[in-house]
Each structure stands twice: as structure tokens, then as C-alpha cells.
């Protein structure tokens, strides 16, 4: 059985941070609101908090989607546009403007030479499927596991169990989980006994109780580590 690589999508392979900012700017323009640079920081704070609540199963996905922009606009003091209508505009932009992180496509090409690659992603199904179709990501990997379609979000055991059960011959000893999120990717790997690589180019702080086997800030580092592992 070749090595299996479970690779996160957003901010591991795909530039979600950059596209998110562009989508926000475009959304504000479409609804006739002036954009201010500090709005991005506020959005990321609100959005990250809600996604972490979802990972801890404190809220549902529908609650996240329904509340996200209501909370965001309230934090900005904007009342002339509803959160529901703003979310629809933003999600539409988000679903149509994906791109790889610099060097990610080349990394993916090299990764496939070392084993079988599967994408593991939290996200809204129609958004992710639209983005992946535009990039033809399905043709680049063995399979893609989208949390909304599975019914569980990373790092839930239900998500990991589903992924493992749908990879023929899967063995934790010959698997590596690669992702940028400690709370989603690395925790899921830890809980399943899978070796993990934390992709951390933005220099995020570690979270207590979640320990990756490796921490890297570049694709070249990931490949160096994996080549040593595969060659053992």
C-alpha cells in the first residue's frame, strides 16, 4: 500500500485568505458600501471564531452561515444591508474565484509522485465544488472529502472515520495529514493516530494540547520531510 496524504484545501493548497479579501471588497462594492481596510481584520476575527465554534460542535453549519454576516455587520455598525443578503453576495464571489497558493500546484505534482493524495476540507459543499471544478482539482487527486457532504466537520471523529473507510487499504502507519489548521487538521490527525505536518507560513501561535509532528512554513520543507518518511 503506497503512502496516503490527506491534504487540506484552503490556505494549504488554495489561497483562501487572498480570495476572501477580494470577495469581501467586491461584495461591499456591489451592495454600495464603502470599504475600509480595518474591515478585513474584523471579518477574519468574526469568521474564525465561528468556524472554531463549528469545529467544537457548539453551533451548526446553518447557524454559522446565517449568523456570520449579521455579526460582522453589527460589529462594523452597518445597518443598511442585511447579513443574509451580504452573505449571499460574498459566497457567490467566493465560489467563482479560486486560485492556488504560489507553488501549490507544483507541490501537488511532486506529492503525487510519493503516494496517493486526498483532499480533506471543511466547507460549504456548493462553494467548494464550484471552486474545485474551476481548478479541475478532482482530476489532480484520488478523491475529495467535503465536510458538509459527509455530515461531520474536521476534527470530528465522524469525519475522519468516513475518510478512512473510503480509502481502500488505509493504514494510519502509512498516512500523513497536512494542513494549516491546528484545531481542524492537526487535532483530527492527533485523534486518529496519524502523523501530521502543520503548514504554518503565517507564523500562527500554537494551541495548547494540539501538537503536530512537524511544523513547516514552505512546500519544499514538506516534500523534504515526506521523502525521508517514504524512503524509510
Residues tagged active-site:
8
Single out the residue of 108, 3, 121 nearest to residue 51, CA to CA.
121
Q: Are 165 and 155 spatial neighbours (Cβ–Cβ below 8 Å)? A: no
> Hey, is 150 helix, strand or coil?
helix
Q: Are 46 and 71 spatial neighbours (Cβ–Cβ below 8 Å)? A: yes
Overall size of the chain counted in residues: 232
Question: CA–CA separation, 167 vs 81, rounded Å?
Answer: 45
Rounded (10°) angle between helices 16-30 and 38-55: 120
Dig out the grid coordinates for 194 from the structure: 496519524
> b/e per residue, 56-71, with b = 16+ CB within 10 A?
eeebebeebbebbbeb
Amino acid at each position: 500500500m503506497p503512502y496516503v496524504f490527506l491534504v487540506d484545501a484552503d490556505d494549504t493548497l488554495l489561497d483562501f485568505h487572498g480570495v476572501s479579501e477580494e470577495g469581501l471588497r467586491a461584495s461591499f462594492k456591489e451592495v454600495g458600501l464603502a470599504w475600509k481596510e480595518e474591515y478585513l481584520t474584523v471579518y477574519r476575527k468574526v469568521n474564525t471564531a465561528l468556524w472554531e465554534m463549528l469545529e467544537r460542535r457548539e453551533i451548526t453549519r446553518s447557524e454559522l452561515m446565517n449568523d456570520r454576516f449579521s455579526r460582522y455587520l453589527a460589529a462594523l455598525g452597518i445597518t443598511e444591508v442585511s447579513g443574509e443578503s451580504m452573505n449571499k453576495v460574498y459566497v457567490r464571489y467566493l465560489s467563482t474565484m479560486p486560485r492556488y497558493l504560489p507553488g501549490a500546484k507544483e507541490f501537488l505534482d511532486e506529492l503525487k509522485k510519493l503516494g496517493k493524495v486526498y483532499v480533506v476540507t471543511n466547507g460549504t459543499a456548493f462553494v467548494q465544488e464550484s471552486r474545485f471544478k474551476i481548478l479541475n482539482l478532482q482530476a489532480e487527486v484520488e478523491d475529495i472529502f467535503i465536510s458538509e457532504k459527509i455530515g461531520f466537520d474536521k476534527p470530528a471523529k465522524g469525519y475522519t472515520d468516513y475518510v478512512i473507510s473510503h480509502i481502500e487499504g488505509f493504514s494510519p502507519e502509512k498516512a500523513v495529514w497536512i494542513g494549516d489548521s491546528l484545531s481542524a487538521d492537526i487535532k483530527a490527525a492527533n485523534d486518529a493516530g496519524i502523523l501530521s505536518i502543520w503548514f504554518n507560513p503565517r507564523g500562527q501561535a500554537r494551541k495548547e494540547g494540539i501538537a503536530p509532528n512537524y511544523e513547516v512554513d514552505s512546500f519544499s520543507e514538506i516534500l523534504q520531510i515526506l521523502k525521508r518518511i517514504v524512503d524509510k
